[in-house]
Amino acid sequence: MKPKITLKDIAKELDVSISTVSKALKNSKEISKDTRDRIKAFAKFYNYRPNNIALSLKNRRTKNIGVIIPDIVHHFFTTVFRGIEMYANQMGYNVIVCISDESFDKEVINMEMLANGSIDGFILSLSAETQRKNDFTHLKELLDQGIPIVLFDRVTQDVACDKVILNDLEISRESVTHFIKKGSKKIALITTENYFNVSESRKEGYLAALKDNNIPFDENLILTLPHDLDNTKLITEFFQKNKIEAVLCVNEIFAVQCMSVIQQLGFKIPDEISIIGFTDGILSRYSSPKLSTVAQHGEKMGELAAKMLIDRMETTKVVEEPFRTEVINATLIKRGSTIN
């Protein structure tokens, strides 16, 4: 008897990506005919069968929700998970969490594993690699098979489903405006790669605030950092080369790294350089000085995402409600790293 194989197994044996295997088995014209035929022949020989997602969901309910988060380093994702679990438990659901570790393949594998009759729906934030590849085939396939999905924070307009996002543009605009009102004009932005939708929205808010106040945009004052490396050297060189009076960082880790570098270079915070970061986590509250920050209200976001998913899973309406995008309003918390 041949062993049961998965998309991952086929991809490994044929030295192609999981996405290529999935598309080939769906007869996608994106994949060449030769590759499609080779993958289909291999799958047929080993009796590959897609997981019986739709069948299992029609016949029974597991009362389990699958949650996929990109990492557990950032405090924000842990607070979202806390909100999801709290609401889900109140409604009689269990939560199974997996970490994609910013990997497209791990995201696909985790979803394939959980979708095989283990869960009733998904809540997830897209991995860095998924956003970079701009490949959402695995999400669309699950939706086509009747599994509801709610995306939060890192989302895409290419997938039709419910979403929960932050008012990233508006809160960034408010943060930069705060710097300007306190006298700063040389305002820097420290951000991540532009394929992150949240980083792009925060950059748009930064640029809008400069325009609102007739401050010329200086591209030298934007530092784009890799999301997965030690950036101390890049940050140090950035502050050495540029005259900077204030800096907005798109996450808490970047902000705390900047505070450390700035102080090592001999600058005083906030008298010479002010800093605001995103995520009101432990690092923000215990840094010295305490970090002014954007509270993203992760628990509220998680609770709302869970409610939207459960409402959709439990609906008895013949015609489903249109998909919704809910926006959480962030809060600027002013502490010791800014002149208030």
Taking CA atoms, 245 is separated from 172, 227, 261, 294, in Å, by: 17, 24, 14, 19
pLDDT band at 89 (very low <50, low <70, confident <90, very high): very high
Pairing of strands 274-278, 94-99: unpaired
Look at residue 54 in the predicted model and tell me its pLDDT. Answer: 46
Query: In this structure, are 174 and 290 located in the same domain?
Result: yes
Residue 56 lies in a domain: no
Query: In this structure, are 45 and 17 located in the same domain?
Result: yes
Query: In this structure, are 290 and 311 located in the same domain?
Result: no
Residue 154 lies in a domain: yes
Q: Which of 47-61, 165-179, 274-288, 294-308 has the weakest average pLDDT?
A: 47-61
Tokens of 261: 């570098």
Query: In this structure, are 162 and 249 located in the same domain?
Result: no
Residue 335 lies in a domain: no
Query: In this structure, are 132 and 221 located in the same domain?
Result: no
Q: Measured at the alpha carbon of residue 89, what is the angle toward residues 84 and 92, in degrees to the nearest 5?
A: 130
Look at residue 340 in the predicted model and tell me its pLDDT. Answer: 76
- The stretch 1-14 carries a mean pLDDT of 79
Residue 234 lies in a domain: yes
Look at residue 53 in the predicted model and tell me its pLDDT. Answer: 47
Query: In this structure, are 82 and 110 located in the same domain?
Result: yes
Residue 212 lies in a domain: yes
90 lies in which domain range? Answer: 62-166+298-329
Q: Measured at the alpha carbon of residue 213, what is the angle toward residues 210 and 218, in degrees to the nearest 5?
A: 35
- The stretch 125-141 carries a mean pLDDT of 95
- The stretch 34-61 carries a mean pLDDT of 73
Residue 241 lies in a domain: yes
Please say if the pLDDT value at position 82 is more than 70: yes
Which residues, other chains included, contact 262 with Cβ-Cβ below 8 Å and sequence gap of 6+?
A: 239, 269, 273, 275
- Structure confidence by residue, pLDDT tens digits, 202-227: 999 999 999 999 999 999 999 999 98
Distance CA 306, CA 280 (A): 22
- The stretch 34-55 carries a mean pLDDT of 78
Query: In this structure, are 180 and 288 located in the same domain?
Result: yes
Kindly write down the DSSP assignment for every residue of 223-270, as one continuous string: EE--TTS--HHHHHHHHHHS--SEEEESSHHHHHHHHHHHHHTT--TT
pLDDT band at 56 (very low <50, low <70, confident <90, very high): very low
Q: Which of 60-64, 73-77, 125-129, 143-147 has the weakest average pLDDT?
A: 60-64
Query: In this structure, are 12 and 91 located in the same domain?
Result: no
Secondary structure (3-state) at 132: helix
Query: In this structure, are 124 and 159 located in the same domain?
Result: yes
Look at residue 30 in the predicted model and tell me its pLDDT. Answer: 87
pTM: 0.83
The percentage of residues in the chain with a pLDDT greater than 70, rounded to a whole number, is 94
Query: In this structure, are 157 and 306 located in the same domain?
Result: yes
Distance CA 208, CA 179 (A): 13
- The stretch 21-33 carries a mean pLDDT of 87
Amino acid found at 305: A
Distance CA 35, CA 20 (A): 9
Residue 337 lies in a domain: no
Query: In this structure, are 102 and 84 located in the same domain?
Result: yes
Residue 91 lies in a domain: yes
Distance CA 312, CA 308 (A): 6
Distance CA 97, CA 84 (A): 10
235 and 262 in contact (C-beta within 8 Å)? no
pLDDT band at 29 (very low <50, low <70, confident <90, very high): confident
Query: In this structure, are 237 and 250 located in the same domain?
Result: yes
Candidates 139, 154, 157; CA nearest to 80 is 154
Number of domains observed in the structure of the chain: 3
CATH code assigned at 92: 3.40.50.2300
Look at residue 2 in the predicted model and tell me its pLDDT. Answer: 53
